[in-house]
Amino acid sequence: FVARFREALFHFSTLFDMLEAILPRDIQERVLIEREIFGRQAMNVIASEGLERIERPETYKQWQVRNERAGFRQLPLDRQTVEMVKKRVKSVYHKDFSIDEDGQWLLQGWKGRIVYALTTWKPA
């Protein structure tokens, strides 16, 4: 439980920090995101067990192993799309957003911490 709580704390504090930097506190959309999305996800990760636990934040490397064991093959990233996304994030988005790559994973980050990892798979 302690490891799960610590990882949830790091993950959700990063998300709330991101919202703090890009959205004013008093707008309704931010309140909804914090309460209805991030708040519910955090409660599920921390307080739920067994079938009630829907959210399972794991590292992308853990998902890599899980998907390969399930018989999927990872597809390569499209170079043109990756370069377009990197340029767009660098020119338009907050300076603390980042886009990186690790193998065939596209990593979205905030202040040096990976927030989301994207890739595509197909049955092997």
C-alpha distances out from residue 16 to 22, 57, 115, Å: 10, 16, 11
Query: CA 101 from chain center: how many Å?
Result: 14
Is residue 98 within 8 A of residue 89, CB to CB? The reply is yes
How many Cβ atoms are within 10 Å of 105's Cβ, its own excluded?
17
Is pLDDT at 7 greater than 90 in this prediction? no
pLDDT in tens, 32-86: 999 999 999 999 999 988 889 888 778 999 999 999 999 999 999 999 999 999 9
Nearest alpha-carbon partner for 34 in 48, 55, 19, 14 = 19
**Beta-carbon contacts of residue 41 (< 8 Å; ≥ 6 apart):** 12, 55
In this prediction the pTM is 0.85
| Helices vs. strands in the chain: H and E counts, helices first | 5, 5
Is residue 42 within 8 A of residue 8, CB to CB? The reply is yes
